[in-house]
């Protein structure tokens, strides 16, 4: 057994073990057979499947605390004979180590507590306004407050999914269910599955679900080749309906974002009712059911259907701001076709993200995602520290001649609409619906 653990394995051999029934990975030159771990991996099966047969050291360092290393030995089968580390990866791992020594991964700050108080205040005010006011304008304002509540609940769910916002694991889980499932109707299990796939395959047209919005949106003409979504496990057909909708996507973007929450509701329910493995499925279902009891009940307390409709529309439209924010960080950034790779982690995360410049007092509005590059590089880092580490990331990008993209909120919106318009005009060109050759694609690819 000892001899087998020390056997030499080449990168070519490692790459052959890249399916769910035979899955190997490499971390710091050691090779692990994690086939049996796939179904129990806390981050879900997709991160392992998407990086199967590769060195995944940088992704492992990004997502796992030091305590996770002790669990690897039971999967060890050998050592990578041709293991190499790029200068970029060396610097990235060194920076992760420095941040860890500073204790920033453990220091949560007070943002979570303040946000929970704000959520409670918004919820109480909205309910009070609906139940005890007869003014129609007040009811619309209450709907808007509900939207702001959903936005802040979304940031809380996001934070608690990446790291423990409180030290106690059970309490952290309770906060997840309350802020996600109960208050917003979105399954935290769905979010984690979706979001982990997004982080691992940032801006891969085939593997990143955050770019897969066909038939409504296409950020690249490469979608016109009817690519396969490995997240949704289906072909993203570019048919006549898709062509029509994509052709006007730069006009429909903001209206659709106003009601994008409906899609999140649907995706949550589809996952919870599917045959996929969902941790704590009944806990998730119960939490979503709580939302679908209290929210319709609150709406029914309004005096007439007109005010009920305005309340719901106000809730959705205000929350649409958050959906726009999600898109700004990636829609206008560099995209690629194919699976993610483990040996260019830093490069892919920085090239596929756009930071939003803003004053510190606006950090609450962006939920930490204005530092998108930093968040992708250090997903376990509490958002209160992202501004602190930004200069280090910027310096590292400058050293290795990598992009560090940043724009104002207004500029990011302009860039996003420009990206959508470029693809829309290409979709309208009936004589040239798909890329004809590499030169054509090089000239017309954006981001």
Same domain, residue pair 62 and 202: no
Asked whether residue 12 falls in the same domain as residue 133, the answer is: no
Assign residue 31 the CATH number of its domain: 3.10.120.10
Are the CB atoms for 151 and 258 separated by under 8 Å? no
> β-pairing, 30-33 with 355-357?
unpaired
**278, 303, 328 - which closes a domain:** 328
Residues 213 and 307 in one domain: yes
In this prediction, residue 444 carries a pLDDT of 45
Per-residue model confidence as pLDDT tens for the chain (447 residues): 444 446 899 999 999 999 999 999 999 999 999 999 998 888 889 999 999 999 999 999 999 988 889 889 999 999 999 999 999 999 999 999 999 999 999 998 888 889 999 999 999 999 999 999 999 999 999 999 999 999 999 999 888 888 878 878 888 899 999 999 999 999 999 999 999 999 999 999 999 999 999 999 999 999 999 999 999 999 999 999 999 999 999 999 999 999 999 999 999 999 999 999 899 999 999 999 999 999 999 999 999 999 999 999 999 999 999 999 999 999 999 999 999 988 899 999 999 999 999 999 998 899 989 999 999 999 999 999 999 999 999 999 999 999 999 999 999 999 999 999 999 999 998 545 444 434 434 444 443
Q: Give dist(CA 58, CA 78) in Å, integer.
A: 19
Together in a domain, 243 and 142: yes
Among 301, 328, 355, residue at a domain's last position: 328
Looking at the domain assignment, is residue 62 inside a domain?
yes
147, 283: one domain: yes
Give the domain-ending residue among 328, 344, 364: 328
Task: Report the predicted TM-score, pTM, of the whole model to 2 decimal places.
Answer: 0.90
pLDDT the model gives residue 343: 85
Is residue 271 domain-resident?
Answer: yes
**429 lies in some domain:** no
**Residues 122 and 77 occupy one common structural domain:** no
What's the total number of domains in the chain? Answer: 2
Write phi, then psi, for 406 (nearest 5 degrees). -150, 140
* Residue 238 domain-assigned (yes or no): yes
Task: Note whether 271 and 204 are same-domain residues.
Answer: yes
In a domain, 390, yes or no: no
- Residue 183 and residue 125 share a domain: yes
Looking at the domain assignment, is residue 427 inside a domain? Answer: no
CB 434 within 8 A of CB 237: no
Residues 57 and 135 in one domain: no
What pLDDT is recorded for position 111? 87
| Burial annotation 189-223 (CB, 10 A radius, 16+ → b, else e) | bbbbbbbbbbbbbbbbbbbbbbbbbbbebbbbbbb
Are β-strands 406-408 and 76-80 bridged in parallel, bridged antiparallel, or unpaired? unpaired
Beta carbons within 8 Å of 401's beta carbon, 6+ residues apart: none
Q: Does any domain span residue 348? A: no
Residue 430 has a pLDDT of 58
**142 and 288 within one domain:** yes
Q: Return the pLDDT at 400.
A: 96
Buried b (16+ CB within 10 A) or exposed e, 414-439: ebbbebbbbbbebbeeeeeeebeeee
Q: Which domain holds residue 190?
A: 111-328
What is the signed CA dihedral for 139, 140, 142, 143, rounded to 10 degrees? 120
Q: Considering the domain boundaries, does residue 367 fall inside one?
A: no
> Are 170 and 68 members of one domain?
no
**Looking at the structure, do residues 122 and 68 belong to the same domain, yes or no?**
no
């Amino acid at each position: 057994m000892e001899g087998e653990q020390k056997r030499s394995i080449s990168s070519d051999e490692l790459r052959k073990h890249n399916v769910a029934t035979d899955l190997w990975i490499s971390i710091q030159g050691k090779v692990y057979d994690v086939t049996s771990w796939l179904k129990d991996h806390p981050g879900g099966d997709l991160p392992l499947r998407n990086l199967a047969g590769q060195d995944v050291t940088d992704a492992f360092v990004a997502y796992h605390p030091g305590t996770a290393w002790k669990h690897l030995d039971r999967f060890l089968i050998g050592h990578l004979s041709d293991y190499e580390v790029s200068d970029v990866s060396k610097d990235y791992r060194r920076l992760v180590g420095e941040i860890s020594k500073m204790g920033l991964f453990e220091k949560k700050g007070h943002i979570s507590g303040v946000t929970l108080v704000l959520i409670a205040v918004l919820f109480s005010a909205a309910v009070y306004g609906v139940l005890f006011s007869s003014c129609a304008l007040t009811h619309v304002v209450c709907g808007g407050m509900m939207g702001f509540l959903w936005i802040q609940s979304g940031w809380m769910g996001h934070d608690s999914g990446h790291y423990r916002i409180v030290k106690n694991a059970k309490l952290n889980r309770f906060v997840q269910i309350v802020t996600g499932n109960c208050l917003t109707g979105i399954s935290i299990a769905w979010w984690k599955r979706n979001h982990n796939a997004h982080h691992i395959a940032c801006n891969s047209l085939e593997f990143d679900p955050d770019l897969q919005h066909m038939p409504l949106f296409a950020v690249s003409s490469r979608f016109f080749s009817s690519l396969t979504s490995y997240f949704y496990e289906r072909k993203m057909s570019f048919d006549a309906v898709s062509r029509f909708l994509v052709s006007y996507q730069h006009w429909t973007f903001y209206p659709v974002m106003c009601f994008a929450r409906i899609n999140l509701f649907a995706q949550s329910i589809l996952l919870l009712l599917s045959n996929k493995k969902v941790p704590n499925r009944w806990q998730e279902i119960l939490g979503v059911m709580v939302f679908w009891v209290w929210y319709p009940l609150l709406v029914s307390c309004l005096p007439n259907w007109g005010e009920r409709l305005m309340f719901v529309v106000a809730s959705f439209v205000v929350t649409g701001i958050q959906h726009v924010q999600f898109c700004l960080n990636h829609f206008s950034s560099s995209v690629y076709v194919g699976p993610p790779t483990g040996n260019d982690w830093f490069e892919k995360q920085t090239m596929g993200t756009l930071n939003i410049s803003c004053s510190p007092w606006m950090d609450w509005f962006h939920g930490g995602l204005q530092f998108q590059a930093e968040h992708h590089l250090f997903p376990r880092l509490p958002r209160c520290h992202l501004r602190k580490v930004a200069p280090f990331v910027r310096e590292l990008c400058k050293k290795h001649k990598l992009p560090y993209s940043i724009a104002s909120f207004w500029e990011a919106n302009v860039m996003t609409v420009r990206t959508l318009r470029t693809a829309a005009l290409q979709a309208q060109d009936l004589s040239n619906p798909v890329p004809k050759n590499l030169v054509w694609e090089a000239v017309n690819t954006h981001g």
